[in-house]
Amino acid sequence: MASSLTKAPAGSAATERTFLGHPRGLANLFMTEMWERYSFYGMRALLVLYLATEVADGGLGMKDATAVAIYSVYNAMVYLLALPGGWLGDRVWGARKAVAVAGVVIMAGHFMLAVPAQFSFFLGLAFIAAGSGVLKANISTMVGQLYPDKNDSRRDSGFTIFYMGINLGAFVAPLTIGAIGQKVNWHLGFAMAGVGMAIGLLFFFLGYRHLNEESTRVPNPLPAAERTALVKKGLIWLGVAAAAYAVVGLSGNFHIDWVLWPLTVLGLLLPAWYLFRIRRDKDLTQVEQGRMTGYIWFFVAAAVFWAIYDQGGSVLTLFAKNDTQTSLFGFDFPESWFQSLNPLFVMAMAPLFAMLWVWLGRRNKEPNTASKFATALLLIGGSFFVMMLAQGVASGDTKVSPMWLVSVYFMQTVGELCLSPVGLSLTTKLAPEKYSSQMMGVWFLAVTAGSSVIALLQLVGAPTGTEAWFASQGALALLAGVGFFMYRRKVKALMGGVH
């Protein structure tokens, strides 16, 4: 992230045109991200439902396990591709061009989903995953570039405003895209997501003049020779993959598993390889290597957490469809609306948690990072024990009250607030100097690893949506939380003075 401009800004903080007291460009980035998240979460609210709905009702008629595996692999790839997305911004395009290209790719992907053809649908998913990874890795960098002075008192609140835009888009999306997709036409819902991304791009391009010029700069340009070599390698690997899939396709043996298995394995192996490559780098000091050892503990805990948490859009959505009443106080609603609970709870509770940590900190009672992670694991594990009970109640044709899912999403959101922002902060603190700009992408790989584990369980035939499914994962998370808490002093010792 750049920290200075090559020329002074057009006006001081007192005279420049502002947005809620912040640089004007924040408004455009806020709207861009809000509409991008609107498109992302709107489509995601429909994804598993569309995949698992019978063909006669307009869906693809897939088994629940296959639908969950596709969802999990898609989610894993979004976060996996944040790494090359950040690389493209740092070495090829610069943050501004990377966001612009990514937005166009995402928009195209959503409109591909709107075409009623399977090939177009899955190609669209690939476009959205690739574009989302690039955009996610670069738009936050542009927010930071609006504040050249890292000590600018407006910086943290600027990111808070930006974060609220994310959750606002995620909250509204299922209520609109979900309702239209389920009640009117699936593909019209996917088209609405494309329109949402188009609106986000419009705000982005209209705000070009308000963005920091630093966002157009490529921080570490890729030499021409290195670029040529990478393009050649990429084309070779692409050719090998295309040839292999052509052989499978022409032989009549192609199945979606031919795509899901390689991506699942990649989602498991790449995070492990990347972490241990950094840990074993001889350029790191002894203190940095110790910190990376400590960071691996947090990474594994986060992967366990996200493996359960991200089933909110897959397994829990199918539970909402098959086993939950979609009526409350006489008001009927589509299953996709449950996806609005998490962002609603985040918007309501995030400011309270921020104040809570400050209040406890002033009294020297704030839990340390390891304790917060342990709490998050206990909450996420407890939420799946609640799901185990709900699954037990939903026997036969009995459908449970929607309040079961409301309580589960509430517990998971409290856990998220104990882990997600804390993990982001911890990543910046423990990052070795050599990898300071890459470690945020490494943090996102915890989501990739967690989602890939769920995909793997589905591919090997683990029964989704059973009491055993919820109980086993809940028990694993609870044990991990207890273990993490018991070893918190050992982990703290590895953190090299970082708290």
DSSP symbols for 90-112: IIII-HHHHHHHHHHHHHHHHHH
pLDDT of residue 2: 34
User: For the CA atoms of the chain, what is the radius of gyration?
Assistant: 23
Q: Write out the DSSP string of 347-404.
A: HHHHHHHHHHHHHHHHTT-PPPHHHHHHHHHHHHHHHHHHHHHHHHHS-TT--B-THH
Q: Which pLDDT tens digit goes with each residue over 289-300?
A: 888 998 999 999
One-letter amino acid for residue 240 of the chain: V
> What's the mean pLDDT in 473-499?
86
Q: Which two tokens stand for residue 446?
A: 């915890």
The two counts, helices (H) then strands (E), for the chain are 18, 4
pLDDT of residue 288: 87
Residue 381 binned pLDDT confidence (cut-offs 50, 70, 90): very high
% of the chain at pLDDT higher than 70: 95
pLDDT of residue 286: 87
pLDDT of residue 305: 97
pLDDT of residue 329: 82
Residue 384 binned pLDDT confidence (cut-offs 50, 70, 90): very high
Q: Which pLDDT tens digit goes with each residue over 233-252?
A: 989 998 998 898 888 888 88
Alpha helices, H only, 207-340: 224-250, 257-279, 286-309, 315-323
Chain-wide mean pLDDT for the chain? 89
pLDDT of residue 20: 73
pLDDT of residue 424: 81
Q: How far apart are CA 342 and CA 414, in angstroms?
A: 10
> What's the mean pLDDT in 138-156?
79
* 254 SS3 class: coil
Residues 125 and 109: beta-carbon distance below 8 Å:
yes
Instruction: Give the range among 270-274, 348-352, 353-357 with minimum mean pLDDT.
Output: 353-357
Q: Which pLDDT tens digit goes with each residue over 330-340?
A: 888 999 999 99
> What's the mean pLDDT in 182-197?
96
Q: Write out the DSSP string of 454-469.
A: HHHHHHTTPPTTSHHH
Q: Which pLDDT tens digit goes with each residue over 265-285?
A: 999 999 999 998 998 888 888
Closest by Cα among 318, 136, 106, 291 to 201: 106
Decide if pLDDT at 14 tops 60.
Answer: no
